[in-house]
A and B are shown apart, each in its own frame.
Chain A
């Protein structure tokens, strides 16, 4: 039993940390967020050249054969800078579905581009009525001729605007909330009948409402088994939760440490704020929650790599619950202890807090996962 990173993981961590340090000072990030695309093509190229995009794919698929621990190492560092490039959307989500379900032909057509960064993916799983349930799907794909016809609407699709392929969950049989009867399709966002409405999210990223009106899909658009898409979607969502939690842990570290630093500089009542015990204890609580999140992140990630499926699933629920709860606690208090300055866009705490709020809302919030954990 040990929690040490391997030499390769240590190097990966250092390399991502350096990238964040070089490219993600607040001003630079603010510029990126304000740009049309919301991220930097140069950064994306750098990330691809450094090989990070290939990390979670097997060597047979042209990747480096990394697992969830490697993704955790990268996402934690990216969380410290709130990296905007779509590693999460394209590699963890889109790539996660592809690597699990794609046939040889689909892999050959898409994975090289995904790994070298020339292609980007998006995963369209959410629907208006579904709240957090991945299996609540009304978008339909009707078999017609050799292929399918896709109709419906997907919500809050991350990175759809720059994606070359969108992976869409659609109902091919069964009732609205049945787990069986869901299939995944690889859809070209430029195809006839696909409409994107793009917008920025509160944390500076990009998402879209995507509608499909009689979109014609070929037989080879089907990703994985017909009616068997839920298992792929759920496993991908679990990886997504682990990755978001790692990003959150990176962000939480910045928040508590910035707060400790700020309260020692800022003076009121002729004292640095950090002289006041009520603030010291609050910061200790922030630190403790951060450490607890980190512990559970390690636990859930390692159980996902080494444990059985049921244990791993329960750990993922536990983790997403705690990350949501602790993220809001630490975020609110970081703003509170920075006082008026915490309310401004000039300091980074507010930006990190927004990201944590968005993370809580993705793939089920703290309450949702507590109920799943308790079930």
Chain B
């Protein structure tokens, strides 16, 4: 057992820090130009623009420890914005199940941040029970295209997306996990209507997407017809491991402590309030434990082992911690957390506190609700078998 970073890892960390420093946004710079230049320079470093892609697809081929260092450093650095849908969710499916033509057609534009993708999974009748989806894709008589009809919901960034990867039903004769087909199609076309959903935080990021007689050429199908669930399931696992956000929570907790120390309370500050301080401490202990749970999980991945039982709890613990930080931020804001939009007085952080907290309630719902995660752990990790009764 050894927690020290090797000389190579320390050198890598310095290299990452130096890169972030050299390429930080400078005031007055054109934001879009900076963003695109940043990714270009990251690419020249040897695939740093696509850290999670495997080496054969142009990724950096880092060790798990290097990934961990990257996560830690990105939590404090100011990186250009990025969306996970193409890069982190569709790309692995294309790499594993797409044809060579599909890979050559779609991966470069994803990598160049030219095309924004959204994920067409959930439906009004299929949330946690995703396999119950009903959006219908019918093959045309000449076999050249599918005709897609149905409704997708909670589609993040559908309003700015150029393309969608979409789960559709091509057959409903078997069990519901069968007969699902994975299709790709452009968003800006006839038959697609995007309607915004404003969530509790007051922001617009999710949408309802109505699909009416949308034509999708068969060459836009990933893999085989009816096998989409298998492809999507792998993707969900990919999505879940990325949601723990430990490094970001460590930074957010330090910020919360600073904020609380700026809130007056009697002759001292909120950080001297024993009850509040106790909650911060309890949160920090849980975060420390979760950080090591992640490290253990990375270490077993480094050894080439299948993810150990500890990996399964990361999404659950990580998202719960993120929510607790948001909740304590609201508490720290006191009466000023009640302000919405324009803010009359009080600390600056209080203005967005409630919005952040409200938005954070989604963390334990998306990417597999916490209760679904627990079902999965009970079955796969504790290996509890449902009786046939």
Scan residues 294-345 of chain A and give those whose CB is less than 8 A from a CB of chain B.
294-296, 298-299, 301-303, 306-307, 315, 318, 321-322
Given known pairs A281-B371, A306-B2, the reply for A275 and B382 (CB within 8 Å) is: no
B317 at the binding interface (Cβ < 8 Å): yes
Given known pairs A298-B296, A370-B282, the reply for A292 and B375 (CB within 8 Å) is: no
Are B385 and A306 closer than 8 Å at their CB atoms? Answer: no
Chain B residue numbers with a CB within 8 Å of A283 are 378, 382, 384
Are B5 and A322 closer than 8 Å at their CB atoms? Answer: no
Chain B residue numbers with a CB within 8 Å of A103 are none
B310 at the binding interface (Cβ < 8 Å): yes
Are B278 and A302 closer than 8 Å at their CB atoms? Answer: no
Min Cβ gap A160→B in Å is 33
Chain A residue numbers with a CB within 8 Å of B280 are 374
- Which one of B80-88, B100-108, B284-292, B338-346 is at the A interface? B284-292
A280 at the binding interface (Cβ < 8 Å): yes
Chain A residue numbers with a CB within 8 Å of B302 are 2
Complex partner residue of B295 from A1, A373, A374, CB under 8 angstroms: A1
Complex partner residue of A292 from B4, B5, B289, CB under 8 angstroms: B289
Chain A residue numbers with a CB within 8 Å of B389 are 270-271, 275
Given known pairs A274-B384, A321-B285, A373-B284, the reply for A2 and B2 (CB within 8 Å) is: yes
Chain B residue numbers with a CB within 8 Å of A161 are none
Given known pairs A271-B389, A280-B374, A284-B378, the reply for A292 and B286 (CB within 8 Å) is: yes
Given known pairs A275-B386, A280-B384, the reply for A370 and B278 (CB within 8 Å) is: yes
Are A5 and B384 closer than 8 Å at their CB atoms? Answer: no
A291 at the binding interface (Cβ < 8 Å): yes
Are A288 and B296 closer than 8 Å at their CB atoms? Answer: no
Are B4 and A291 closer than 8 Å at their CB atoms? Answer: no
B387 at the binding interface (Cβ < 8 Å): yes
Chain A residue numbers with a CB within 8 Å of B293 are 291-292, 295
Chain A residue numbers with a CB within 8 Å of B277 are 374
Q: Please indicate which of the listed interface residues B288, B386, B389 has the most CB atoms of chain A within 10 Å of its own CB.
A: B288
Are A1 and B299 closer than 8 Å at their CB atoms? Answer: yes
Q: Mark B307-326, 1 if CB is under 8 A from A, else 0.
A: 00110010011000000000
Chain B residue numbers with a CB within 8 Å of A293 are 289
Q: B65: nearest residue on chain A (CB-CB)?
A: A1
Across the A-B interface, how many residue pairs have beta carbons closer than 8 Å?
130
Chain B residue numbers with a CB within 8 Å of A35 are none
A301 to B284, CA, bound (A): 18
Min Cβ gap A317→B in Å is 8
Complex partner residue of B296 from A69, A287, A295, A307, CB under 8 angstroms: A295
Chain B residue numbers with a CB within 8 Å of A371 are 278, 281
Are B4 and A1 closer than 8 Å at their CB atoms? Answer: yes
B3 at the binding interface (Cβ < 8 Å): yes
A302 to B292, CA, bound (A): 11
Chain B residue numbers with a CB within 8 Å of A285 are 374
Are A1 and B3 closer than 8 Å at their CB atoms? Answer: yes
Scan residues 162-217 of chain A and give those whose CB is less than 8 A from a CB of chain B.
none
Given known pairs A292-B286, A298-B292, A299-B288, the reply for A287 and B384 (CB within 8 Å) is: no
A260 to B379, CA, bound (A): 11
Are B288 and A318 closer than 8 Å at their CB atoms? Answer: yes
What total of chain B residues lie within 8 Å of the partner, measured CB to CB? 44
Are A292 and B317 closer than 8 Å at their CB atoms? Answer: yes
Given known pairs A283-B378, A292-B286, the reply for A1 and B296 (CB within 8 Å) is: no
Q: Mark B85-99, 1 if CB is under 8 A from A, else 0.
A: 000000000000000
Min Cβ gap B18→A in Å is 21
Complex partner residue of A280 from B289, B296, B375, CB under 8 angstroms: B375
Min Cβ gap B305→A in Å is 11
Given known pairs A283-B384, A373-B281, the reply for A288 and B4 (CB within 8 Å) is: no
Min Cβ gap A11→B in Å is 15
Scan residues 1-19 of chain A and give those whose CB is less than 8 A from a CB of chain B.
1-5
Min Cβ gap B226→A in Å is 30
A288 to B339, CA, bound (A): 37
Min Cβ gap A245→B in Å is 12
A141 to B386, CA, bound (A): 65
Chain B residue numbers with a CB within 8 Å of A277 are 375
Are A296 and B285 closer than 8 Å at their CB atoms? Answer: yes
B175 at the binding interface (Cβ < 8 Å): no
Are B386 and A4 closer than 8 Å at their CB atoms? Answer: no
A272 to B378, CA, bound (A): 14
Min Cβ gap A324→B in Å is 11
Chain A residue numbers with a CB within 8 Å of B381 are 284, 287
Complex partner residue of B309 from A291, A306, A307, CB under 8 angstroms: A291
Are A287 and B309 closer than 8 Å at their CB atoms? Answer: yes
Are A260 and B382 closer than 8 Å at their CB atoms? Answer: yes
Given known pairs A275-B389, A283-B382, A291-B313, the reply for A296 and B1 (CB within 8 Å) is: no
Complex partner residue of B303 from A4, A281, A318, CB under 8 angstroms: A4
Are B285 and A280 closer than 8 Å at their CB atoms? Answer: no
Are B3 and A275 closer than 8 Å at their CB atoms? Answer: no
B9 at the binding interface (Cβ < 8 Å): yes
A321 to B288, CA, bound (A): 12
Q: A288: nearest residue on chain B (CB-CB)?
A: B313
A4 to B381, CA, bound (A): 21
Q: A292: nearest residue on chain B (CB-CB)?
A: B289
Are B278 and A303 closer than 8 Å at their CB atoms? Answer: no
Q: Mark B35-53, 1 if CB is under 8 A from A, else 0.
A: 0000000000000000000
Chain A residue numbers with a CB within 8 Å of B316 are 288
A284 to B316, CA, bound (A): 11
A264 at the binding interface (Cβ < 8 Å): yes
Scan residues 249-285 of chain A and give those whose CB is less than 8 A from a CB of chain B.
260, 263-264, 270-272, 274-275, 277, 280-281, 283-285
Q: B285: nearest residue on chain A (CB-CB)?
A: A318
B377 at the binding interface (Cβ < 8 Å): yes
Are B299 and A288 closer than 8 Å at their CB atoms? Answer: no
Are B378 and A280 closer than 8 Å at their CB atoms? Answer: yes
Chain A residue numbers with a CB within 8 Å of B317 are 288, 292
Binding site for B on A (CB under 8 A): 1-5, 69, 260, 263-264, 270-272, 274-275, 277, 280-281, 283-285, 287-288, 291-296, 298-299, 301-303, 306-307, 315, 318, 321-322, 370-371, 373-374
Beyond A281-B378, A283-B378: 10 further Cβ-contacts under 8 Å? A264-B385, A271-B387, A283-B384, A284-B374, A287-B381, A296-B285, A298-B1, A370-B282, A370-B285, A374-B278
Binding site for A on B (CB under 8 A): 1-6, 9, 65, 277-278, 280-282, 284-286, 288-293, 295-296, 299, 302-303, 309-310, 313, 316-317, 371, 374-375, 377-378, 381-382, 384-387, 389
Which 7 pairs of residues, A with B, have the shortest CB-CB distance? A374-B281, A295-B292, A280-B378, A292-B289, A296-B289, A295-B293, A284-B374
Could you list 21 examples of A-B contacts with CB < 8 Å? A1-B2, A2-B2, A3-B1, A260-B384, A263-B384, A274-B384, A275-B386, A280-B375, A281-B375, A287-B313, A292-B289, A292-B290, A294-B296, A296-B288, A302-B1, A302-B2, A302-B3, A318-B289, A322-B286, A370-B278, A373-B284
